[in-house]
Every structure is written in structure tokens, then in C-alpha cells.
Structure 1
Amino acid sequence: MAEPPGLSNAERRLWAAFPTGTVVVLGDEPPAGPDPDRIVRAEVIAQLLLGACETRSGFVPAVRLTGAYIIGELDVSGGTVEYELRLTHCRLAEAVDFSNAQARQLRLSDCRMPGFDGGGLRADGYLSLSGSVIEGSVRLPRAQLTGGLRMNGTKITVSEPVDWGLFAGGMLVEVGFFARGCEITGGVRLVGARLNGGLWLEEAVLSNPGRLALDGQNMVVEDTAEFSRATTIGTIRLRSARINGLLSFSRSRLDAGAPGRMALHASHMQCEELLLWPAEKIQGTVALSYSRINLIMDHPEFWPDEMWLNGLTYETLRGGTFKDRLSWISRDREFHLQPYEQLSTWYHGIGDDELARKVQLAKLRGRRRKAHPVGRVWNTLLDWTVGYGYRPWLAFAWFGVLVGIGTIVFSANRPRVIKPGERPDFHAFVYTLDLLIPIDTFGQQQAYDPQGWSRWMAYALVATGWILATALITGVARVLRPN
């Protein structure tokens, strides 16, 4: 097709450069306003992308334009774009529409525009918005980007908090989603997205206070989901996401942006490694309920005040002492048995049975606080006497103390003989043992009757013996059948 009539000088240059893919430079920076020498109509660019200009053999045709002021809507929705588009330092007066188009490589870097719509876009190459300032939403739902998505240093701002800064549910990216140092004011929606080359958000700023800063529910990430040194103000939701590699929050900042909200909602998630080691204490709740994580690396200095860990399973823990881990699993406002069982299983698995028993003891003490008053009294007695069966030596310690006290008392105030002539020789020590042991073992208890105030001591020893025996049997039975 010959050059259409009515082209401006800038448009004529672009038309002539297209067959060879030559870069047309109209300026070094995005124009502040509609400079007549730098104006290019969007419809001219669309015509070139859709094949309106004849190509030249031996060259790769492309639209490569720098420093232009583009008026009108660049709309190729539903079309097939056979050529590369590269816009650098351009200013677009209206949003770009590549929805449901099939394209090659698209690069709109260091540009200014009011929005980008790539819903259903299929690109054989990559889509780059790196360095651009976008005052509106970027829409990429169901997009398929074979060469990756690049948004390094991109700034996206939406006017309403309910709007999504990046709306990309169901997006498929083969090479990787790179958004290092980007700033997005408004939520990022990646629900159901599949990122086969990883998610790279190092030093990014995602701000949507009191709302979702990033919604990655059911997202699948191969390799790495990297939030290192990032700042997120709002909730990061990774519920039911699958990270087949590392999920890192190293030296990042996690802030829910409002009281009572979650900073990280990662329940029902599957992850190979979780590095939860931010630069400061997490502000907001962290939920890891029912997630399966092979390795968790974190530090108590940065844990939030409340965590949901019921149902969480893991193979390895790194960071924090034993006391720290007990504090970690007790940060849920609702008491649950499973976090204690899981932690005990882990300590048992690494060969530290003593710490595993201590976790079980902490579990029973935690459950005691939720019991009714009578149950709390009985459980307190079990704790003091036998440590719920995990410390049976306590019963023998109590037994030894009581034997010593009884021996002293009955040596000073000997009981009277019940049947003179049939009595065995009196021994205060053996008599005290006979009182404490629930069955008559040595015959002393039946032969002697305590006198005066020592009678009450005898009654107390008999009752205490039964209590110790009952507590020991109950505790041992609980250890053997803990649930």
C-alpha cells in the first residue's frame, strides 16, 4: 500500500522507516504536551502494525518510535500483529488496547499513558512496560505471554482504591514476570495466574492500605516468588497458591495498612521454601493454616502478634530457639492441638525426644486454660504431680518429700498399739510408706493408730497416696493415648 495522504512529517518518517525497522527519534524524553513536530496519530501506528505498508525483503519490519506524542486510541483489539512494536519515551493521550490480539514483541518502555488493556492478548515475544508511568489500570486477564512480562521500574496509579492497578487473573507467562522496583498504587490481581519463569518483585512497592495489595489466590509459580526488599501496604493473599521453589520476603516490609487485617494470607498454600525474614516486625496477622511447606526460615524478632498455624505442616524449621517456637505456635487466639503435635513430631524427627515431650506438655497446659473450672483444677493437679505423665519423676519426688515428713512426725509422736501382743515392731519410715501406698503392704497401718494432731497427718498421707497413684496412672494413660 502506498503512503496514505494527509500524513504529518513525523508520520511520514515513521511510514518510511517501517519496512526496514529503523528507529524514528522525535525526542529524548516524553513530550510534556502536544508538540506539533512530535505528534503521531495512533491510527497510523495501528495501520502499520496490521500490515498496511509493504515490507522490504532482507529486513525485519517494525514500528520503532522514540519521543512521540501519540494522539487517539492505539486500538488493535482482536487483530493479528505480525510486527514488533517498540515505543520509547512516548506520551500516549489515550489508553492502549491490545485485547484479544495476537502479537509478537511489544515494548512500551519509559512512556506515559492512561492505561493498557491486554485482556486475552497472545504474544509470541515479551510484553514490556518497564519504566513507564501509567495513570490507570493495566489489564492482562487471560493473556498468554510466551516471552515474559517486564514491568521493571513501572509506576501504576489508579484513582479509586477499589480499582485494580494490575488486573491479570488467569494470565500465563512462560519466561517470567519481572517487576523489580515497580510502584503500584492499587491492588495487583494474579488469581489463577501461571508464572512458569518465576515472579520477581524485588524492591517493589505495592500499596493498597486496608485492602488487597496482591491477590495471588490459586496462583502457580515455578522457580521463585521473590519479594525481597519489597514494601507491601495491604494484604498479600496467596491462599491455595503453589510455589514450586522459594517464596522470599527477605528484608521486606509487610504492613496490612489497617488494624485487624492480615498482612500475609497464605493458608492452604504449597511451597518448597518460605523465607519469612523481613526487615522489621510484620504489622498484621500472618495466616499459614493448612499449608504444606518443606522448609520454613524465619526469626522471632519479626513475627507478628497473631499467627494462624492450625493445620500447617512442614519438614524443617530454621531460626528461633525452643522457647521461641513454643511462643510461635501459641500466637493463635484460638487454641488448637495440631500445631503442638506438628512441632512435637518435628523435634522427634530430628532426634530430640526431650523437647518433643516438652511440646506435648505445653500442649496440655494450653488446653487446660480452655477447660471448665473443675477440669482446670484436675489438670493442674496432674501437672504438679506427674507433669501429665511426661514427668513421672515428679510423683516420686513428692512421694520422697512426704515420706520424709511422715517419718519425722511419727518418730516424734508414735501411734498407739491397736492389739498389744500381736503388733510388729514400729518403724516410722515403714509406717509412713504403708499410709502412702494405697494397699496395706507392710502391716504397720493396721497395727498402729495415730494419736492427736498426727492423726490428721495420717489422713492426709492416705489421701495424698491415692491422689498420687491416680495421677500417675492417668498421666501414663494420657501419654500412651494422647488424643
Structure 2
Amino acid sequence: MITALLLGAVEAAAGSVAAVRVRGARITGQISIRGGNVDHELVLSGCHLDRSVDFTGSTTRTLRVTDCRLPGVSGGGMRVAGHLSLSGSWVTGAVRLARAQFESGLWLGGTKIVTDEEWALYSGAMVVDSGFFVKNADFTGGVRLVGARLNGGFFLENATFRNPGKNALTCDNMVVEDVMEGAFDADGCVRLRGARIDGTLSITGRIRGTDTAYALHASHIEAREFYLKPAEAIEGVVNLAHSRFQTLHDDPDTWPEKLRLNGLTYERLRGGGVARRIGWVSRDPGGFRPQPYEQLAAWYLRDGNDGLARRTQLAKLRARRRTLAPSGRAWGRLLDITVGYGYRPWLAALWFVLLLVVGTVVFSVSPPRAIKPAETPGFDAFGYSFDLLLPISAFGQRELFDPVGWTQGLAYGLIIAGWILATALIAGATRVLRPT
């Protein structure tokens, strides 16, 4: 009867807007309008449907199935000149809306979908020309929105997605022309790979994905602003690789332990001091990646923080050192100790002054013997030590005196230390001027 009325079995009275409205009924037959054209609204409120609703390939007006209980909805390829609402309904099977189009929104506020199938909501390539609302919704089974286009925003406040060990929310290559926001809970992987959010992307709920490869897979996405401020640290690996944001907001207190940032670019960064940011870019479970350090240093330079940029570059070189062969690690440690890889040249001055003081004191107590006593001027312990530390003699003391006894070893040590400091300083300066 309902199907017949929707398909025009009874002509509408003149001067009225026809619709089919049913409240509190038990509907035993199937409402099936596959490929049909429906010119009237369907409003089911508080009904119990024994069989699924099927609007596959149909063209309809607004459909409201609210506060009902039903075993599933099939609407692949349907065209709705209005909106579809399943708000408050309890669906015990899959809702399939692949390639469907909705002119005035899709409403799943308070909807509960429980299914043993792989997908509770299957809506790939769906187009919603107004908002998609899943506030207070509860899904047991995966939600698939791959390739969907949501022109009026995606609102997920207090939504719950349960699909442990699998994809809880899959939005690969989705396009949202407005905002995607809401403090939702997800037990399983949340995938946004390749998505484009032309407004703000906000993730402020809870995500638990320790039994999946990623808890949040948000690589290759674009968004004007990205708020990654979950209520608690995300459990599992978070992947932001090769994504691009104008502004990234996050909270150091909720950074995940494992975070992939290789290829991530941003114009502005908000939240966290430099010391913690260096820890932020070093959480890649795959090991050292130079690009996150370079991106962070570049942002500090744009922000006018040259000192913070140098600290970031120094941290990058220290992290890289752990990936080198033993000889490379030894040379890197020497550069770090002596000149801080060129980012702390004042360390070389400190070493030079320390060795100069040691040499001056020792040679003042145990002066070397003159090579040609008759032709040698007076001995100067400071000048002699200074000459030993310089690769090229400045005061002419080194050629006139020869250390004796155990001080000979000190003299050789000062010469070697001077060459090491000079080499390290040149190598460090070259690294700063031409970073690799």
C-alpha cells in the first residue's frame, strides 16, 4: 500500500501537497521502489519494519524514517530532491547509499546501526549538497565514505564508531567543502587518506587503534586548519605523512607515542615549545627522517626564531648520527662535542681557552728548553701554548723551544687538539652554510 501510494496510485487532491505519513505502525511487507520516480514525501515515525527499505536507483522527494526500527536500508544510486533522515532509528543491518545524491542533507542524528557485515554504513562516492549530520549516532561495523563529496560540512559530535581491528571510519579521497568537526569516539582505524577539507578539520574525541596498522591514517590530506586535539593521547600509530595544512593546532600533552610526519608541510604551527617539538618530529616508528626536522626549522625561520631553527637542525644531525656506521658516529660525536656541528661554534672557543689555560699553567711550572739558547728570546708560556694550539705559529715560540719530559706529550696533545678544533670548526661552518 505504501509503495503504491508513493508511486501515484491515488492522485493528489487539487491545491494540496501530497505525502505518505505513517506513525507507530508495524509494517510487515517491504517498501521497495527500485528505479522508481517518487513525487511525494515519505514520513515514517516510530514504526517497526520487518523488512529493509529499498530505494536503489530511485528518484524521490524527502524521506524521513525517524525513531523507527528496521533491518536495513538500500539506496545505492538514489537521487533525493530533499533530504534523507534516519534520525533516532535503530537499524539492525547495513545502510547502503553508494553513489546516492542528497540535495538538502543527510541526517543520522541519534541513529544506531548494528550489523555483522563489514560495513554498517556503505556510502562511497555519495554526494550531499548540504550538511551530513551524525551527531550522537552509534555505529557497530565500519563506516565507508570513500570518494564522498560533502558540500555542506560533516558533523560528528558525540558519534561512536566501533569496528575493532578494522577500519572504523574510512574517508579516503573524501571532499568536504566546509568543516569536518566533532568529538567522536572510534574503536578501530580512522582513515582520511587523500581527503580534502576546504575548511577546518577537527579531531577532538578519542581514537583507539592499537590492533590496526594505524589508529589515524591521515596522509596526503589537505586542510586549511587542522585541530588535532583529542581528549586523550591516540592509542596507536598516527600517520600525517605528505599532508599539507595552512595551520596545524595540537597539544603536546596528547601527542601519540608513534607519529609519522615525513613529507608533512604547514605554514603555521600552534602549540608546544621547541624542546617538545623536537621530540614531536622524532617519533617516527620507522626511524630517522630528515624532512620533519627541516620543515620545523623552516617554520621557525619564517617565524623569526633563528635560534630555535639552529637547535632543530642540531637535533636532526644528532638523530642522523645514530643511523651511521661506527666511524661516522665517532666523527659526528667529535663534531658535536667541539662545535655542535657548526651550530655552536662558541664550544670551540671554550675548548681553546681551556686548553690554553692548561698549557700556560703547565709550561709556566715546567718550561721547555731553548733550542738555541744564545739566540732565543725570553720564554712566554702563554704565547708558547697559543702557538701549539694554532695550526700556524703566531708568536714564533713553537719553533724556538722544545718541551722536555712528560710535557712533551702535552705539547703534542695541544697540537693535535688545535688541528681537531680547526678541522671541526671548518667542517661545522661548511655544514651550516651548505646543509645536506
- Shorter chain as denominator, the TM-score bin is over 0.9
Match of 2:66 among 109, 112, 118: 109
* Aligned pairs (5 A) from 1:152-167: 152-160=109-117, 163-167=118-122
The equivalent of 1:224 in structure 2 is 179
Residues 1:246 and 2:203 aligned together: no
The equivalent of 2:280 in structure 1 is 328
The equivalent of 2:154 in structure 1 is 199
> For residues 271 and 154 of structure 1, what CA distance do their matches in structure 2 show?
28
* Aligned pairs (5 A) from 1:349-360: 349-360=302-313
Residues 1:262 and 2:218 aligned together: no
Asked whether the 8 Å contact 1:416–1:450 carries over to 2, the reply is: yes
Asked whether the 8 Å contact 2:139–2:160 carries over to 1, the reply is: yes
Asked whether the 8 Å contact 1:157–1:185 carries over to 2, the reply is: yes
3-state DSSP of counterpart to 1:254: strand
Match of 1:272 among 224, 227, 231: 224
Match of 1:413 among 355, 363, 366: 366
Asked whether the 8 Å contact 2:339–2:425 carries over to 1, the reply is: yes
TM-score (norm. length: structure 2)? 0.99
The equivalent of 1:59 in structure 2 is 16
The equivalent of 2:381 in structure 1 is 428
Match of 2:136 among 178, 181, 203: 181
Match of 1:348 among 274, 279, 301: 301
Q: How far does residue 405 in structure 1 lie from its aligned partner after superposition?
A: 0.3
Residues 1:149 and 2:106 aligned together: yes
3-state DSSP of counterpart to 1:338: helix
Asked whether the 8 Å contact 1:237–1:265 carries over to 2, the reply is: yes
- Which aligned segments of 4 or more residues in structure 1 are displaced greater than 6 angstroms? none
Match of 1:361 among 296, 314, 323: 314
Amino acid at match of 1:237: R
The equivalent of 1:39 in structure 2 is none
Match of 2:247 among 295, 298, 301: 295
> For residues 136 and 259 of structure 1, what CA distance do their matches in structure 2 show?
25
The equivalent of 1:168 in structure 2 is 123
Task: Indicate the larger mover: 76-85 or 421-430.
Answer: 421-430
> For residues 322 and 56 of structure 1, what CA distance do their matches in structure 2 show?
72
> For residues 320 and 212 of structure 2, what CA distance do their matches in structure 1 show?
25
Q: How far does residue 263 in structure 1 lie from its aligned partner after superposition?
A: 1.4
Q: How far does residue 297 in structure 1 lie from its aligned partner after superposition?
A: 1.2
The equivalent of 2:34 in structure 1 is 77
3-state DSSP of counterpart to 1:444: coil
Instruction: Name structure 2 gaps, 5 residues minimum.
Output: none
Amino acid at match of 1:427: D
> For residues 432 and 59 of structure 2, what CA distance do their matches in structure 1 show?
65
Q: How far does residue 395 in structure 1 lie from its aligned partner after superposition?
A: 0.4
Q: Percent identity of the aligned residues?
A: 54
Asked whether the 8 Å contact 1:139–1:168 carries over to 2, the reply is: yes
Match of 1:402 among 352, 355, 360: 355
Q: How far does residue 261 in structure 1 lie from its aligned partner after superposition?
A: 3.1
Q: How far does residue 441 in structure 1 lie from its aligned partner after superposition?
A: 2.3
3-state DSSP of counterpart to 1:158: strand
* Aligned pairs (5 A) from 1:353-392: 353-392=306-345
* Aligned pairs (5 A) from 1:78-93: 78-93=35-50
Amino acid at match of 1:107: R
> For residues 211 and 109 of structure 2, what CA distance do their matches in structure 1 show?
31
**In terms of Rg, which structure is larger?**
1
> For residues 180 and 62 of structure 1, what CA distance do their matches in structure 2 show?
27
Amino acid at match of 1:380: R
> For residues 425 and 120 of structure 1, what CA distance do their matches in structure 2 show?
101
Amino acid at match of 1:70: I
CA distances 1:39-79 after superposition (whole Å, capped 9, x unpaired): xxxxx111111111121101011001101111121110100
The equivalent of 1:100 in structure 2 is 57
Amino acid at match of 1:434: D
The equivalent of 1:123 in structure 2 is 80
> For residues 57 and 299 of structure 1, what CA distance do their matches in structure 2 show?
61
CA distances 1:96-126 after superposition (whole Å, capped 9, x unpaired): 1000000011110011100000100001100
Amino acid at match of 1:460: G
Asked whether the 8 Å contact 2:164–2:211 carries over to 1, the reply is: no
Q: How far does residue 260 in structure 1 lie from its aligned partner after superposition?
A: 5.5
Amino acid at match of 2:173: N
3-state DSSP of counterpart to 1:46: helix
The equivalent of 2:233 in structure 1 is 281
> For residues 450 and 105 of structure 1, what CA distance do their matches in structure 2 show?
100
3-state DSSP of counterpart to 1:316: strand
CA distances 1:306-326 after superposition (whole Å, capped 9, x unpaired): 000000001111111111111
Q: How far does residue 420 in structure 1 lie from its aligned partner after superposition?
A: 2.2
> For residues 181 and 115 of structure 2, what CA distance do their matches in structure 1 show?
24
Asked whether the 8 Å contact 1:424–1:444 carries over to 2, the reply is: no
> For residues 238 and 280 of structure 1, what CA distance do their matches in structure 2 show?
20
Instruction: Name structure 1 gaps, 5 residues minimum.
Output: 1-43
3-state DSSP of counterpart to 1:461: helix
CA distances 1:157-195 after superposition (whole Å, capped 9, x unpaired): 1124xx100000000000110110000000000000000
Task: Indicate the larger mover: 237-246 or 272-281.
Answer: 272-281
